[in-house]
Amino acid sequence: MLAATHRRGAGAGGPVPGEWLGRPFGVAVRARRLELGLTQERLAAQAGMSQGALSRLEHGRGVPTLPLLERLAAALSSNLLISLSPHGAVHVVFKAPPR
| pLDDT tens digit sequence for 48-86 | 999 999 999 999 998 889 999 999 999 999 999 998 888
What CATH number corresponds to the domain at position 53?
Answer: 1.10.260.40
The Cβ of residue 66 has, within 10 Å, a number of other Cβ atoms equal to 7
Note down the domain range covering 81. Answer: 2-95
Q: What is the pTM of this model?
A: 0.77
**What is the structure's pLDDT at 53?**
96
Q: Which residues are CB-neighbours of 91 under 8 A, at least 6 positions away?
A: 3, 4, 5, 24, 81, 82, 83, 85
Q: How many structural domains are present in the chain?
A: 1
Can you give the pLDDT at residue 1? 52
What letter represents residue 25's amino acid?
F
- pLDDT above 70 for 43: yes
CA 81 – CA 78 distance, rounded (Å): 9
